Amino acid sequence: MLESHKFMLRSEDGPHTRRLTLEIEKVEENISEIRLLTQEAIDALEEKKRKLRKQTDPNAAYSKETEDIDRQILDITGHQDYILKELRKQHAEFTERKLSIERLDRALAEMDREISKVQAQHDQILAELEQKKKALRQRLLSLEKLDLLINVLTYKIFEAQHDYRSDMEALHKQKEELLKRTDLTKSQMALALAELDLKIADRTNMHEAAMMSLEGQRTELRKESALKSEHMDTTMEALKMQHDMMLTELEAQKLGATQSEIEEIDRRIAELRRMYDKDVENLKQLQEQGWRDLDSEERLSAILESRGLRVTPSGNFLTASGRLLTRSEASCLGLLEGIEPSSWNSILQGHRDLGKTGSEASLTQASSTISTETRMSSEDIHYLKTALGKPLTLALAEITAKQPKDPIHYLGHWLFKYRYNQEVDVFKKQEIQELMNERDRLEKEKINVLLQDEAHKVIMDMVIKAEEEVIRNELERIAREAAMLQAEDEGLHRDVLGAFSGPAVGAT
């Protein structure tokens, strides 16, 4: 007997599966109907056979009608078996086809889920790529602000070198003029030279301290800029690797995809390439330039700075040593080689703006942060600008450059550190002033000792000269007296004895 298989229609089944399920149900219904009709026919024939047996002798042989009925029953049974066999074969074929289609549907559903999963991953990677691009652009803005601060510090360093060089030339000129003067005594000359040497030493110490501070700040900013550039290089490499990996995966998915899926994959590939051509190529060019979006003016400024030059608002050039050069002098030294003269106007304007940045930034930002300036007195405004202008400007500039997660906490910590450094600077200045006062006192004592030694030496020289003069006069007097006595003795001898007429002394 054929076992009954119940196939339920499900909403997730495909159209082929539903059609085969209906066909299988029809076959099962036909099998049931054939069984029912066959059984009814056999039952009718058996009933007719029993009636015939009642009409005839039970012990007699089957009549001709009974044999016909048995033959009909056998024919019906054989025909039923044949039909059932064919129906079983058809049922098995339909069942096998249905199972194959169900397996295929499950495989297709699994592929759809995998494609949806891959598409979701691609969408997530695209979102990550967009976030990385935004992060790169934000870091690029931060890097530009760091470059601006570095340029301001570099300009201040060049100005400090120039001021120091000018002051030292003036002091050395004063020293040369002092050495040429003849109206000063040695003690006055020594005192004036000592004061000039002290001024030179003080100016040198102040310059070294200022340069150390500026160079330290610029070094820290350059380190931070280098770290940001390195981090941006790493992010850029990860961005390019993700882009290449996604393109490879999408190209691999096209091998076993349908036409509609190939169209979707091609759309995603085109979108990726458009994003790469639009954004990643620009970022790659910035990476090759050291993450600096330089225009022609900034490139020329970078070239000049690499040659140790800085343009002043007056149109001259400052060297790293503080020497001031004119354009002709710089050209003669070969420092302006390869730079077109037509670009000087934009460079001069840019450096005028840069020169004003360091001196006007505090007033500009302080005035912009005070929204109620018109309702405040001039004394209050002056107090706020004087007391808070510089620290707030420096703090906001550093916060803008570093962009911390908690800027309020960072601002408070920075102001506390600024105040602490101020107190430390005051204490150091007091110590330096005390040391300078002590040095001045020791210098004055040394000068006094030198003057006293010199005066003592002069006095001793005068005393020695006077003693020598007295001794010389006394010797001359003694010699004169001896000569006079000898002359008197010879006169007395001639008067008493007369002229000597005897033999010469020593004659035999």
Q: Give the span between the Cα atoms of 483 and 229, in whole angstroms.
A: 106
Q: What is the pLDDT of residue 93?
A: 76
Strand 324-325: give its sheet, edge to edge: 309-311, 317-319, 324-325
Choice among 42-46, 53-57, 65-69 with the minimum mean pLDDT: 53-57
Q: What are the backbone angles phi and psi of residue 312, rounded to the nearest 5°?
A: -95, 160
321-346: average pLDDT: 61
Average pLDDT of the chain, as a whole number? 71
User: Of 207-221, 319-333, 347-361, 464-478, where does the model show the most confidence?
Assistant: 464-478
Q: Report the 3 state secondary structure along 175-219.
A: HHHHHHCCCCCHHHHHHHHHHHHHHHHHHHHHHHHHHHHHHHHHH
Q: Give the span between the Cα atoms of 420 and 427, in whole angstroms.
A: 11
Choice among 57-66, 167-176, 198-207 with the minimum mean pLDDT: 57-66
User: Of 248-262, 313-327, 359-373, 443-457, where does the model show the most confidence?
Assistant: 443-457
Q: Give the span between the Cα atoms of 18 and 179, in whole angstroms.
A: 117
User: Of 72-86, 247-261, 377-391, 402-416, where does the model show the most confidence?
Assistant: 402-416
pLDDT digits (tens, 9 = 90+) for 438-465: 888 888 888 888 878 887 888 888 888 8
In a domain, 270, yes or no: no
Q: What is the CA radius of gyration of the chain?
A: 59
- Is residue 60 predicted with pLDDT exceeding 70? no
* 298 vs 242: which has the higher pLDDT: 242
User: Of 87-96, 113-122, 468-477, where does the model show the most confidence?
Assistant: 468-477
Q: What is the pLDDT of residue 503?
A: 60
User: Of 385-394, 450-459, 478-487, where does the model show the most confidence?
Assistant: 478-487
The type of residue at 462 is M
Upper half-sphere CA count for residue 403 (Cβ side, 13 Å):
11
Taking the CA atoms of 345, 346, 347 and 349 in sequence, report the sign of the dihedral they define: positive
Choice among 20-24, 298-302, 392-396, 418-422 with the minimum mean pLDDT: 298-302
- Percent of the chain scoring above 90 in pLDDT: 0
∠ CA 280-285-288, nearest 5°, is 125
User: Of 42-56, 258-272, 309-323, 486-500, where does the model show the most confidence?
Assistant: 258-272
Q: Give the span between the Cα atoms of 60 and 288, in whole angstroms.
A: 117
Sequential DSSP letters for 52-113: HHHHS-TTSPPPHHHHHHHHHHHHHHHHHHHHHHHHHHHHHHHHHHHHHHHHHHHHHHHHHH
pLDDT digits (tens, 9 = 90+) for 35-54: 777 777 777 767 766 666 66
- Is residue 185 predicted with pLDDT exceeding 50? yes
∠ CA 40-41-46, nearest 5°, is 95
In a domain, 47, yes or no: yes
In a domain, 282, yes or no: no
Q: Give the span between the Cα atoms of 144 and 23, in whole angstroms.
A: 74
* 279 vs 85: which has the higher pLDDT: 85
What is the total count of domains within the chain?
A: 2
Sequential DSSP letters for 417-457: HHHHHHHHHHHHHHHHHHHHHHHHHHHHHHHHHHHHHHHHH
Domain boundary among 95, 112, 129: 112
- Is residue 359 predicted with pLDDT exceeding 50? no
∠ CA 306-310-364, nearest 5°, is 120
Q: How confident is the model at residue 433 (pLDDT cuts 50, 70, 90)?
A: confident
In a domain, 185, yes or no: no
Query: Taking a C-beta distance cutoff of 8 angstroms, is the pair 356, 320 a contact?
Result: no
Query: Taking a C-beta distance cutoff of 8 angstroms, is the pair 309, 330 a contact?
Result: yes
Buried-state track 446-477, b at ≥16 Cβ within 10 A, e below 16: ebeeebeeeeeeeeeeeeeeeeeeeeeeeeee
Q: Whose CA is closest to 84, among 24, 25, 27? A: 27
Q: Give the span between the Cα atoms of 486 and 493, in whole angstroms.
A: 11
pLDDT digits (tens, 9 = 90+) for 128-177: 777 777 777 777 777 777 777 777 777 788 778 888 888 888 888 888 88
Q: What is the pLDDT of residue 356?
A: 47
Q: Give the span between the Cα atoms of 130 and 124, in whole angstroms.
A: 10
Q: Whose CA is closest to 23, among 91, 99, 100, 103? A: 91
Query: Taking a C-beta distance cutoff of 8 angstroms, is the pair 392, 419 a contact?
Result: no
* 187 vs 356: which has the higher pLDDT: 187
Q: Give the span between the Cα atoms of 313 and 311, in whole angstroms.
A: 7
Sequential DSSP letters for 214-245: HHHHHHHHHHHHHHHHHHHHHHHHHHHHHHHH
In a domain, 302, yes or no: no
Strand 324-325, strand 309-311: pairing = unpaired
Choice among 180-189, 353-362, 431-440 with the minimum mean pLDDT: 353-362
Query: H/E element holding 36?
Result: helix 15-55
- Is residue 374 predicted with pLDDT exceeding 60? no
Range of the domain at 85: 15-112
∠ CA 385-350-140, nearest 5°, is 80
Q: What is the pLDDT of residue 378?
A: 65
* Total residue length of the chain: 508
Please give the span between the terminal C-alpha atoms of the chain, in angstroms, as a whole number.
199
Query: Taking a C-beta distance cutoff of 8 angstroms, is the pair 247, 272 a contact?
Result: yes
Q: Give the span between the Cα atoms of 14 and 27, in whole angstroms.
A: 20
Q: What is the pLDDT of residue 110?
A: 73
In a domain, 108, yes or no: yes
Q: Which residues contact 313 (CB under 8 A, 6 or more apart)?
A: 348, 351, 352, 355
Domain boundary among 60, 84, 112: 112
- Percent of the chain scoring above 70 in pLDDT: 62
* 4 vs 381: which has the higher pLDDT: 381
- Is residue 1 predicted with pLDDT exceeding 50? no
In a domain, 475, yes or no: yes
- Is residue 26 predicted with pLDDT exceeding 50? yes
Q: Give the span between the Cα atoms of 33 and 434, in whole angstroms.
A: 123
The type of residue at 508 is T
Q: Whose CA is closest to 73, among 50, 57, 54? A: 50
In a domain, 481, yes or no: yes
Domain boundary among 63, 95, 112: 112
